[in-house]
Structure 1
Amino acid sequence: MRLSTFLLLSLSLLLPVSAQKKKERPASSSDKSSDLSQYYINLKTSPRSQQTQPVVTSLPLKLMKGDRIALIGSGVLDNARHYGFFETLLHQRHPRHELSVRNLSWPADEVDLQPRPANFGDLDQHLTYYRTDVIFAAFGYNESFAGSEGLPAFKARFNAFLSQIKSRAYNGKSGARIIVLSPIANEDVPGVAAGERNNENLKLYTAAMSEIAAKNAVAFVDVFGATALAMAEGENDLTTNGNQLNQNGQLLLAKTLYRQLFGETAPEANEAIRELVVDKSNQFFHRYRPLNTFYYTGGRNKRYGYIDFLPAMRNFDLMVANRNEAIWRVAQGQNGIVNDSNLPALEQAAKGRGANKWLSPKDELAAFQIDKRFEVNCFASEEQFPDLACPIQMRWDARGRLWVSCSTTYPHLYPGKKPNDKIIILEDLDGDGKADKSTVFADNLEIPLSFVLGRNGVYVSEEPHLIYLADTNGDDKADHREIVLTGFGCEDSHHALHDFVWTPDGDLMFRESIFHNSQVETAYGPVRAKNSSWFRFRPESHRLTAFGGYPNTNPWGVTFDDWGQHVASHPIFATAFHSTNAPYPSQHPRANGIPAYSGVCGQEFVDFPFWPQDMQGGYVKVRYKPTNRVEFHRWTESGDHFREQFQFNLIFSTNLSFIPVDIRFGPRGALYICDWYNPIKGHAQYSLRDPRRDRKSGRIWRIVPKGAKLQEPPRIAGAPTLSLLELLKCQEYRYRYWAKRELRDRPQQEVEDKLTSWVHKLDRKGHRFRHHQIEALWTYRGIGSANPKLLLELLNCDLHHARAAATRQLRYADCGLSSKERDHQLLLRSKDENELVRLEAVTAATYIATPQAFQAVLAAIQRPREAHLDYAIRTALGSESLLPFWRETTPLTIEQFMAAFNLSSQTKAGSSTLNAKDAAFDSQANLAEIKISCITGRLLFSKKRFEVEAGQAVKLVFTNPDATPHNLLVLQSGTPVESVGLAANEMAKSPEGAKNNFVPDDDRILHSTKMLGPNSSETLRFLAPEQPGTYPFLCTFPGHWVLMKGEMIVK
């Protein structure tokens, strides 16, 4: 650094904050000396604060002109940004102070547990970047779930935290003034008595925080007392779920803070200021917590991260500054027009490899190779319905209408753009198999990756939120929006919350996958997950459960088979993966040897009787990579699991812009395919801002057997309750699914009474009798009831599928059985003669978490086992709920099981190539042994470069621990990787491409492995070329070569 620059920087740090006001606005990119890296806040390189002397903070609080204020802590402040009351009141009281407020809070943050995306700047770095003068810190809520036993540890943790932050000069010159906020009280609401559960502990932690704040000479504000009093006396709810404040609650919080901070009664909030504050907070949120942070700070920031994110961060900083200035003007009685004309244009996005060909719907249909037994037509496209652009998911309602979520915002939101994604309703009014009407149910959404209908509304994924939309007046327009849960990960917008589905027994299930860090506050405590997890949410009780957390990639597609077994893609037989999660931040291990893969987006079981007989009981699946097709698989029982067996393609597309992302049977038995039609396929392979990403196209395809007469669907919407119960006897899964969804929206007692009568009248000699009973059991739980007599009968019946499904219900405390009886039945089922039943018992033990439940797992170890049951046992033992029962003293039974499991899970690299010829090759004195594997979930080789001597014997062991197939090709020196990679892409247009391992017929390919599936390996043995040079190597699975490449250097 030049001396003159150093002196200028030093001088700027000595100037009063008011004199530095210009620095609220970042440098324009038109300045040639501007360095975009200044907008890159990251853990590795961003500046940190310096040590300083603490300052005393007392009340009433005195704010200075130009103060920069940071809100840190947990969900109560994160939630405040949606309403803006507190910040609005600060500006009203200090109209000429030109205050700047940045909300750095994060749901479920604790004083020393603040998980963030990979390489994301920590709290110290962000407080330093924003040169913070004043800190409002809200902690204690999530810590309080440790109870009175955890109070001493919390005091020590909180004291250490305050000692640290009060002694840092975030503004470059002095310590920050610090105001500690207590937790708010919790409120008893329908479904959860959150106040009764939590307020005693919250009161204890509030007192502790007051004590530690006084010890550290920082200010303290008790909002617990005021909110507890208001909740006890008020007529209106102040929370949405017992712990998350609604608008009335946030207004109460703001007024309480104002009164305690300044000793005055708060004025009415100025709505013009508040509107600007909320707008500013939204823009800052997209800067502070952007989507796709793994591409901003994480492992994929190198290829496109700089050009995709740093100009955007510069512009978001500008937009926040522009809104701050508008807030200051309104506070001073002037106009509040926001002027964003100073935003530089974003730099042109880099273009990666070539895009696929765009075709009209008519020409795309012509590119389908269709099984001769079926016919396909376009149900809807962008030509008739422009709002259908970029469809992601689709669901049928009880009136036979198709709802579709669409996102033109995907994959990312950029400065100056407003998200306007939609959920639309398509209707075929004349029954001709083509949509005639489109209605926009909801707009202004941001990347609604998935949704489900139910509970008289729609649950939607809108990372980091799970939101609920409702139409309260029946006009098919959403007029109510509520954030149900928040804090889910945003690291990768196509791995975020997806696969929304109602379980057979009425829970909302969804998942996220690799890279994500989620931390969600609930009335039962924080729920955290790292690097992928499944979730179950019970709307009636507001309870969220995380389970099945293990590393996986691109795991789209979820359904249930006839007996309620969970079917997915990664893994296929997902029922074996239902143990509750390992202690955070640990994960369960990879499931080596168990089928799991990415590249598909959904499955539908064939059970409509007019479909071909040889397809009944199997499922149709849509695949988007490496080839684009609609497949049929058999579903076959095999010991401790069911397995799929590929049979044939219904559709194979030679046009790779066909991207099937969802699949659903309609009410008359036609099969519908949601087509995210786009010449750009890939998240990491292209810039997020690549202009070739299509934002106008979208198609829904309809498949029917030729000559088939479609069914007349049963009445579901408004049907009598008894008629809906009769639909539980249908062989068609979707009729049963829709009927149960409708029943859950009916009055509970009415449904329970008629369900009990219906169960008593079932024909015990009917061939589906046990299945009807299981459907009844699921329906009881779906409406929040139970039938313990029915459960006991099914647990001990003669049909193992029914016993397995009944055992699954033992997970839940509300199953109707006493704790003692539940433990007893679990132990019996852990010794069941059938492996599927034992697997369900082992999984259920992780939810029950009693010493007796742990004994059930030990009992299952003593019985014969296969890979899926082994994995269920291993994850049960590793779950946070069961670890305490054996962590201190490990029984010999568990030691032996773990040793055997670990041994069987190891990939045996090169073991299949041991023969005399290979042994002789390997015995050469100058042998170069090279080991290359894939970095799981990253589309990268573990080595990008290795060196050998000319003519040297080379033994290259290639191992694939990833979920996606990979190969390795070594090319002639001077061969452009793109030429071979693009040739491999072209092979995806033919069904023969996969059979040939996507290895092009090219003389420049010197050596190649097969396309290796997960957890497999192959060894290449060859003599290095005699000619020194650089010899590329790559993976030719279509699209992977853009990132998966390296060099062999021959010397």
Structure 2
Amino acid sequence: MRRFAFSIFTLLFFFATLQQVQAQTLDLPQAARIAVIGNNLADRMQHQGWLESYIQAIYPKHKVSFRHLGFTGDEINVRPRSNNFGSADQWLTKVQADVVFCFFGYNEALKGPDYLPALKQNLATMIDGMLEQRYNGESAPMVVIFSPIAHEDHKSPHLPNGEANNQNLAAATTTMSEVCNAKDVHFVDIFTPSISLYKTADKPLTLNGVHLLDHGADAVAKVIIERLFGVNASQMAKRSHIERIREAVLERNYYWFSRYRVVDGYNVYGGRSTLNWFGQSNADVMKREMEIFDGMTSNRDELIWASANGNDFTVKDDNLPDELVVKTNKPGSLTGGVHPYLKGADAISKMTIAKGMKVNLFASEAEFPELINPVQMCVDPNGVLYASVWPSYPHWNPRQPRTDRILAFPDHDADGKADECVVFADKLNSITGIEFWGGGMLVAAPPEIWFLKDTDGDMMADEKIRMLQGVSSADTHHSANAFVIGPDGGLYWSRGIFNVANMETPTQTYRSTASGVYRFDPRTFEMDFIFPIGPNPHGDVFDQWGFQFANDGTGGTGSYVNIGKGTGNKPWFKKRVRPVAATGILSSSHFPKANNGNFLICNVIGFQGVLQHEVKYDGADITAEEIEPILYSSDPTFRPSDIEVGGDGALYVSDWSNALIGHMQHNMRDPNRDAQHGRIYRVTYEGRPLVKHPQMIGAPVADILPSFLLPDNGIRYRARLELSGRDAKTTLAAVVKWADTLNPADSVQALKSSPIVEIAPEVGFSSPTVRYESNATSALKAMNAGLGPPMSEPNGAGT
């Protein structure tokens, strides 16, 4: 049993002031169409499915249908959306709502007691406005208002205990109940019973104190059906029957979410939807596709109703409209206007490769059909290369299987070629960023950030948790990309124009339309905007000293992110090419000194290759000068999308491999947008030994710590990532013990400080004795003391 900390003051305040409206039993009409609106509580609900499953079990003959319109970050009168998304009333009319479930109050409560009068007025105005509408074309909707849930205390040093939040949530609940009483509409208090649920739960019901996990949503759903329908869940049908209904509910919501929160909204219905070729616009084509989504959603209502009655049902989808035929505006030379593609190995002959280096094909679609349109790569703490693939680009066509995946490519025999392709995760939508952290992987599949974890060692994700919602998917071309864990332990990503972020954290409602670099703390669940760069940043790297360099993909310009949030914005190299898909720093003892520490750029149009820049440190002034490219190709389909130093020290280059590139240059469904090719190339330096990567996953902490003394940035980085999933106290104890064995006289300043500077943030440690300072700040102090990075060999790798 868990103890829920809640101040006596708050309880007295709440129970003394709350004049709860006893929720009258709601009687749903036959074929009721229920729309769910509100904040993250409503947004997550569609992915959990419990509330609808119970209601369908209560009304198996009614043919009730649900459409979820919840949006993380929504308030009663503040609901930001991307261009031309549609108003709340327009969407309620579209779904012909007979009943509206409204989940508000959390974001309003965060504003404190001074906002209560506005909350009261806004709720009254919303209710009046909804009751004046005829969303179903005939009658006013039945309106049900739900309070927010309470804030759960996780007893975590990274999360607030919820006491302050709960005082405000209690006051908001009282205010909302008073308004509903005056307006004579249904009100359901779930704040009060959630306190009791937290007290008796044997494990946390929330992810971070404020967002329900699946079992928490189940518990709250049971409270709702008892308070709203007078039904005790324990007296309902067998659990297996509820779970069968839920399976059908989740399948229907899978399609509806892909329709309502369709990625690339700016191209579907926004500013670029009007772009047209041969008299046919993106909007024309996408409107038909949305009609297909609508049909597939409705077809699965039938599946839910059959499941509620214990019947089998096969969804056929044979009643859908045909897709529109799209003509390409860039025909190829082959029959039917198709473009020719070289085989992966043959394409190497079209490359000009830097002196001393050689390229081999590591993996391609020929050996591994899953490898289509790779976007970002990362390396696990054992040195295995992973890649996200995006065959559904620009977004998923509902008539096609969803095959956006994250793939692992082990090279068991170390011959420089992948031996197998393991599907780490699939059925995600538009994966734009990946990175390991916390014993698993953080993944951007807009509009969400996921945490995926392999729990049994088979390299396939068994655990999947929505960590953050509201990232924005208005333009996936510019959505969260370039994932990297900073020296402070935070997840950094870049994001561009047209996107509208709406997020909720345990302490704030976070909204932003800015282009630039963002930071998410996966321990505190807090968001921050770090650095403005745009319009569409792609590429964000930290050097071995913690200095950060961000790049704009559209313009190709790069900036040195100076110490101090968002200050400086100093270009640090002369731009020659654009557009840039990714950037990196080459740090590998496999490569010679002349290449180590160099800044690399992947460019995809015109110059199609990987540029190389020599980085020069002059005190706090850092510049990069272009030298011989790593490689470039005359093959028009070669599109280097990312670079990564692998576990063996070789440089890996992913190839999007497409004749067409870009959102706005071609119709969204141009038939020559290729979804059949994808390659990963491997660059090595002739005559030099490869790197032997330590095996870190699951290894004792003491065996991992020596990796921090190795010259390769990637190995030290992955040691940090591995330790980020370990127990904080035991890890820090091992770190302190190990640090005492080091000889400061034999260590470069950055390595001497690595046990504290690099490891402490990864285990979330903060105390007077082991205190983290940013690598950049430490580096400046070191430079001023004459201990800075050597000018000729800034990362120590190579000879």
Mark yes or no: TM-score above 0.5. yes
Deviation at 1:353, TM superposition (A): 2.5
Tell me which of 103, 127, 131 is aligned to 1:166.
131
SS at match of 1:695: coil
Q: Where in structure 2 are the equivalents of 1:608-687 lying within 5 Å?
A: 608-637=588-617, 641-687=621-667
CA, structure 1 residues 149+577, in 2 after alignment: closer, same or farther (shift >3 Å)? farther
Name the SS for the 1:394 alignment partner: strand
Is the aligned partner of 1:352 residue 2:316? no
3-state secondary structure, aligned to 1:663: strand
Change (3 A) 1:577 1:288: farther
Distance 1:321 1:704 in 2: 54
Distance in 1, Cα, partners of 2:699 & 2:146: 52
Are 1:439 and 2:415 an aligned pair? no
Q: Distance in 2 between matches of 1:70 and 1:324?
A: 14
Maintained 8 Å contact 1:547/1:578: no
For residues 453 and 803 of structure 1, the distance between their equivalents in structure 2, rounded to whole angstroms, comes to 25
Task: Output the CA distance in 2 between the equivalents of 1:562 and 1:723.
Answer: 22
Which residue number corresponds to residue 812 of structure 1?
A: none
The DSSP-based 3-state class of the residue aligned with 1:540 is coil
> Structure 1, unaligned stretches of length 5 or more?
1-55, 581-587, 808-831, 837-1051
Letter in 2 for 1:400: G
- 1:170-189 per-residue CA deviation (whole Å, 9 max, x = no partner) reads 23333222110000112122
Distance 1:79 1:747, change over 3 A: closer
Tell me the residue number matched to 1:878: none
Instruction: Name the CA shift for 1:314/1:589 in 2 (closer, same or farther; >3 Å).
Output: farther
C-alpha contact (below 8 Å) 1:777/1:790 kept by paired residues:
no
Whichever residue aligns with residue 625 of structure 2, its letter is Q
Q: Quick one: structure 1 residues 801 and 544, their matched pair in 2 at CA, closer, same or farther if it must change by over 3 Å?
A: closer
* 2:225 is equivalent to residue 258 of structure 1: yes
User: What is the CA-CA distance between 1:522 and the residue it aligns to?
Assistant: 1.8
Match of 1:129 among 72, 79, 94: 94
Partner of 1:1009: none
Q: CA deviation at 1:447?
A: 2.2
Cα shift at 1:775: 5.5
| 1:112 alignment counterpart | 77
String of CA shifts for 1:311-338, please: whole Å, max 9, x gaps.
Answer: 1111122122222233334445554322
User: What does the per-residue CA deviation read over 1:778-813, in whole Å, with 9 as the maximum and x for residues that have no partner?
Assistant: 322222224646769x89xxx996354799xxxxxx
Partner of 1:290: 262
1:313 aligned residue = 290
Secondary structure of 1:369 counterpart: strand
Q: Measure, in 2, the Cα distance between the counterparts of 1:167 and 1:428.
A: 65
Q: Provide the residue aligned with 1:188 in structure 2.
A: 153
SS in 2 for 1:245: coil
Q: Which residue of 2 aligns with 1:688?
A: 668
Shift of 1:342: 0.7
Change (3 A) 1:173 1:401: same
For the 8 Å contact 1:564–1:805, the answer to whether it is kept is no
> For residues 689-768 of structure 1, what are the structure 2 equivalents within 5 Å?
689-766=669-746, 768=748
Q: Work out whether residues 609 and 631 of structure 2, in 8 Å CA contact, stay in contact via their aligned partners in 1.
A: yes
Letter in 2 for 1:558: D
Summarize the Cα distance change of 1:416–1:254 in structure 2 as closer, same or farther, 3 Å threshold: farther
> Structure 2 vs 1, CA of residues 639 and 213 (structure 1 numbering), >3 Å: closer, same or farther?
farther
Q: Is the alpha carbon distance of 1:805 and 1:71 closer, same or farther for their aligned partners in structure 2, counting shifts above 3 Å?
A: farther
Judged with a 3 Å threshold, the aligned counterparts in structure 2 of structure 1 residues 256 and 590 are, in CA distance, closer, same or farther, namely same
Distance 2:732 2:588 in 1: 29
- Displacement, 1:220? 0.6
Structure 2 match to 1:922: none
Q: Which moved more, 1:614-623 or 1:71-80?
A: 614-623
Deviation of 1:726 after TM superposition, in Å, equals 2.9
- Residue of structure 1 equivalent to 2:37: 72
Provide closer, same or farther for how the CA distance between residues 430 and 278 of structure 1 changes in structure 2, counting only shifts above 3 A.
closer
Q: CA RMSD in A?
A: 3.0
Report matched runs for 1:45-60 at 5 Å: 59-60=24-25
For 1:230, the aligned partner's letter is L
Query: How is 1:2-17 mapped onto 2 (pairs within 5 angstroms)?
Result: none
**1:529–1:549 Cα contact (<8 Å) kept:** no
User: CA 1:711 to 1:90, structure 2 compared with 1: closer, same or farther past 3 Å?
Assistant: closer
Using the aligned pairs only, state the percent identity: 31
* Structure 2: distance between partners of 1:790 and 1:328: 59
1:138 and 2:103 are equivalent in the alignment = yes
Q: How does 1:540-619 map to 2 (within 5 A)?
A: 540-541=523-524, 543-548=525-530, 550=532, 552-570=534-552, 572-576=558-562, 579=565, 599-619=579-599
Structure showing greater Rg: 1
Q: Per the alignment, do residues 332 and 739 of structure 1 end up closer, same or farther by CA in structure 2, a change over 3 Å counting?
A: closer
SS of match in other structure, 1:142: helix
2:335 corresponds to which residue?
Answer: none
Match of 2:49 in 1: 84
Paired letter, 2:291: R
Residue-by-residue CA offset, 1:923-955 (whole Å, 9 max, x unaligned): xxxxxxxxxxxxxxxxxxxxxxxxxxxxxxxxx
Q: Which amino acid aligns with 1:521?
A: E
Cα 1:76/1:533, change in 2 over 3 Å: farther
Q: Please show how residues 895-914 of structure 1 align to structure 2 within 5 Å.
A: none
| Aligned pair partner of 1:528 in 486, 507, 511 | 511
Q: How far has the Cα of 1:602 moved from its partner?
A: 2.9
- What is the CA-CA distance between 1:686 and the residue it aligns to? 1.6
Q: 1:266-289 deviations in whole A, cap 9, x for unaligned?
A: 424633332222222222212211
- Alpha-carbon contact 2:147-2:190 (below 8 Å) kept: yes
The CA distance in 2 between the partners of 1:246 and 1:272, in whole Å, is: 19
State the distance in 1 between where 2:782 and 2:270 align.
Answer: 44
- Per-residue deviation at 1:758? 3.8
C-alpha displacement at 1:113, in angstroms? Answer: 0.6
Q: Which letter does structure 1 place at the counterpart of 2:243?
A: E
Q: 230, 233, 256: which is aligned to 2:200?
A: 233
Letter in 1 for 2:106: Y
Q: Which amino acid aligns with 2:265?
A: T
- Cα distance in 2 between the residues matched to 1:185 and 1:500: 33
The aligned counterpart of 2:244 is 272
Question: In the alignment, does 2:399 pair up with 1:383?
Answer: no
Q: Which residue of 1 aligns with 2:796?
A: none
Supply the distance in 2 between the matched residues of 1:774 and 1:470 (Cα, whole angstroms): 27
SS of the equivalent of 2:561 reads helix
Residue 466 of structure 1, CA deviation? 0.8
In structure 2, the residue matched to 1:398 is: 381
Asked if the contact 1:548/1:577 (under 8 Å) is kept, the reply is: no
> When the two structures are aligned, how many residues end up with a matched partner?
744
- CA change 1:634–1:122 in 2 (3 A) is same
Q: Contact 2:385–2:647 at 8 Å: present in 1 too?
A: no
Gap change, CA 1:800 and 1:717, over 3 Å in 2: closer
- Give the SS at the match of 1:411: coil
Matched residue of 2:450: which SS?
A: strand
Call closer, same or farther: CA 1:743–1:132 in 2, change over 3 Å. closer
CA distance in 2, matches of 1:609, 1:452: 23
* Cα distance between partner residues in 2 of 1:312 and 1:294: 15
Unmatched tracts of structure 2, length 5 or more: 1-20, 276-280, 333-338, 789-799
Q: Taking structure 2 as the reference length, what is the TM-score of the superposition?
A: 0.87
In structure 2, give the amino acid aligned to 1:573.
Answer: S
Deviations 1:747-782 (A, max 9, x none): 322332232244445444446135521553232222
Say if 2:446 is the partner of 1:460.
no
Q: Measure, in 1, the Cα distance between the counterparts of 2:192 and 2:88.
A: 28
Establish whether residue 224 from structure 1 lines up as the match of residue 204 from structure 2.
no
Q: TM-score, normalised by structure 1?
A: 0.67
- Deviation of 1:93 (Å): 2.7
Tell me: CA distance 1:693–1:160, structure 2 relative to 1, closer, same or farther (3 Å): same
1:386 match: secondary structure: coil
> In structure 2, do the counterparts of structure 1 residues 331 and 752 end up closer, same or farther at CA, with 3 Å as the change threshold?
closer
Structure 1 residue 225: deviation in Å?
Answer: 1.0
Shift of the 616–280 alpha-carbon distance from structure 1 to 2, 3 Å rule, reads closer
